[in-house]
Amino acid sequence: MAQVTSVSQLSDIKPSDWAFKALQSLVERYGVIVGYPDGTFRGNRSLSRFEFSAALNAVLGKVEEQLLAGDVSGTAQQDVLTIRRLIAAYGNALNDLRSRLDNITSRNLQLDDRQFSTTTKLNGQTIFAGTNGSRDTLSLASRTRLNLITSFNGRDRLVSQLETGNNGRDAISTAQNRQQNLLGTTGILADGGGLDYVGVPPTVRLRKLYYVFQPSSNLEVAVGSKLPPSDFVDRNSFANQAGDNFNSSFFANNPLIVQNEIDRIGGAGAAVAWTVRDNLILRGFYAAADAGDPAKGLFGDRYQGTLEAEYTLPQQPITVRLQYTHAEINGSTINAGGINAEWAIKRPFGVFGRLGFGNYNGFNTALGEDLDLNPKSWALGFAVRNFLIPGSRAGIALGQPFIENKIGSATQTNLEGYFGLALSDHLNISPGFLVVSNPNNRPSPMIWQWVIRFGFEF
């Protein structure tokens, strides 16, 4: 039998070589596919030593499978002897191949870990709302928000939001601004106003800037210089987005838990969400609105800290959130507790409610007076999907933002109803009505207001 030439001296293995013919016979016998569509081991071209070693490795694996399966026939034993001779002659190339495969596997694993590239997604929302009401003329309010969501590894996100508007007004905000604006959309004491998107200045401003990451699978942390509390606490499935459901800023959040002067402009701080188990989440939030001012810093007036525990009943569509907020706003110290609950009675129907109670104490620099208040706040609403028209939604809510006899001689009461219809994935239209009695807790004529909201999402 012809001597097998040393691999170290060969650039390839020729079809006339004994080793080539022996390997070809093994490949055809065991049906090993070595890269050709028809599964044959073609004998009309030379093989590099690495191609040869790869084929030998494939045959070796197939023979091992048969031996493990109990095939100890004479043919199999003869093939083992042939393979031993091939390994003896080409063992170095085979080892080299396996080493290269190990290196490739290691590099592939590293690439899998690093294959996520930094991506930024842009989405936005524009609201145009035509509105008219008591003692007011037809007006247009608009607001545009652009969101940049950047991820560096697929498990984090850097959130940036730009906002601008036309400084629009509505009948409710006009009436509240005629007096001392205590409970308007930009109210000094609390947000009990009308349309959420009024009063947004025509300049472009940064409203959100924070980074969210997960130190562990059940812990999420956010840090940044512009964190609005409504992004992290007091969420609700039926009343939380003025561009999608209720128009009123009052029905979006509990005004005692989410402090107006922190949420409107955002603050520097951090938020933590710990998923204790599937139906229990604990949250903590802190933000200071004037952290960029060295005279006030991260812990100076104006700031808000909030704790929230969210519990969902097992196998029930009922969620309850218990809340506590401590804040210092314009010299006044605020402590407030709250309950936020929602119940999806059936798939299209749901009810929600918020209850708050608190204490405002200390000299308020914005009002120029000493406060000793114990306000209460409540809201109750009902929402339904696919109401009359598939894809539609509707809701109605009633509440009182700031019940306190020491502020005025009456209690402001808010009522809103809306009907929303998605015309496409990017456009929805929503007519609605709002009623406010005794604005700013002062006796005055009831304000009636209608609105047609056009929402564009992109």
Using one digit for the tens of pLDDT, what is the confidence trace for 263-275? 999 999 999 999 9
Range in 176-180, 191-195, 332-336 the model is least confident about: 176-180
Most confident among 3-12, 15-24, 210-219 (mean pLDDT):
210-219
Instruction: Give the pLDDT of residue 301.
Output: 93
**Any idea which residue has 């928000």 for tokens?**
145
Q: Helix (H, G, I), strand (E, B), or coil: what is residue 335? A: strand
Range in 11-15, 239-243, 246-250 the model is least confident about: 11-15
pLDDT at 458 over 70: yes
- According to the 3-state scheme, what is the secondary structure of 363-422? EECCCCEEEEECCEEEEEEEEEECCCCCCEEEEEEEEEEEECCCCCCCCCEEEEEEEEEE
Using one digit for the tens of pLDDT, what is the confidence trace for 337-358? 999 999 998 878 999 999 999 9
pLDDT over 90, % of the chain: 54
The more confidently predicted of residues 114 and 168 is: 168
The rounded mean pLDDT for the chain is 85
For residues 402 and 109, what is the distance between their CA atoms, to the nearest angstrom? Answer: 59
pTM for this model (two decimals): 0.75
Match domain 117-457 to its CATH number in 3.50.50.60, 3.30.2140.20, 2.40.160.10, 3.10.129.10. 2.40.160.10
Burial class (CB in 10 A: 0-12, 13-18, 19+), 237: middle
> Which residues in the chain are classed under CATH 2.40.160.10?
117-457
Using one digit for the tens of pLDDT, what is the confidence trace for 322-342? 999 999 999 999 999 999 999
Instruction: Give the pLDDT of residue 206.
Output: 96
Using one digit for the tens of pLDDT, what is the confidence trace for 62-89? 766 666 665 555 566 676 677 677 667 6
The more confidently predicted of residues 58 and 11 is: 58
Beta bridge partners, 329, equal 332
Using one digit for the tens of pLDDT, what is the confidence trace for 361-374? 999 998 889 999 99
Task: Read off the pLDDT band of 2 (50, 70, 90).
Answer: very low
Q: What is the mean pLDDT of the segment spanning 141-148?
A: 95
Instruction: Give the pLDDT of residue 5.
Output: 37
